[in-house]
Amino acid sequence: MKIKKISHVAIAGNDPEQSRILYEDILGLNFSGSEPVESEGVTTHFFDVGESNIELLEPSGAATPVGKFLNRSGPGLHHLALEVEGLDDYVEKLKQAGIRLLSEEPKMGAHGMRIIFIHPRSTGGVLIELCEKS
């Protein structure tokens, strides 16, 4: 079990083109592609920041988790993702410690990663994703 790095910082928004202009054209980050994640009802847009990414989350509709987040909180920071080795062991350890997770088991996320979210109520207010290459 090991935390390897910050995988990505995810920002929810409805205007990926405006974000692309900022991150790619003005700040000069490399845009590394978009990928729909059907299970979460979002399209992810990735910009490389060294070994990590900024991940823009664009909801596919108002009833999706990110769509609801935007209605409730407006655009902004959505979650922080840590890449780990030993995801299933972390899930077990978190459950044993009584930490609240958003799902019972990891799901498939973007980039072929298995992911699970730790509830903000268990983290001091930040939604935290743990992910592992599958």
Residues 105-124 that bind Co ion (CB under 5 A): none
Q: Measured from the CB of residue 104, what is the shortest distance to Co ion in angstroms?
A: 18
Q: Measured from the CB of residue 55, what is the shortest distance to Co ion in angstroms?
A: 5
Query: Under the criterion CB under 5 A, does residue 81 sit at the interface with Co ion?
Result: yes
Stretch that binds Co ion, among 18-26, 65-73, 86-94, 126-134 (CB under 5 A): 126-134
130 contact partners, CB below 8 Å, separation of at least 6: 81, 82, 84, 87, 90, 91, 115, 116, 117, 118
Q: How far apart are CA 58 and CA 66, in angstroms?
A: 7
Q: Measured from the CB of residue 108, what is the shortest distance to Co ion in angstroms?
A: 12
Nearer to Co ion, 20 or 107 (CB): 107
End-to-end CA distance of the chain: 15
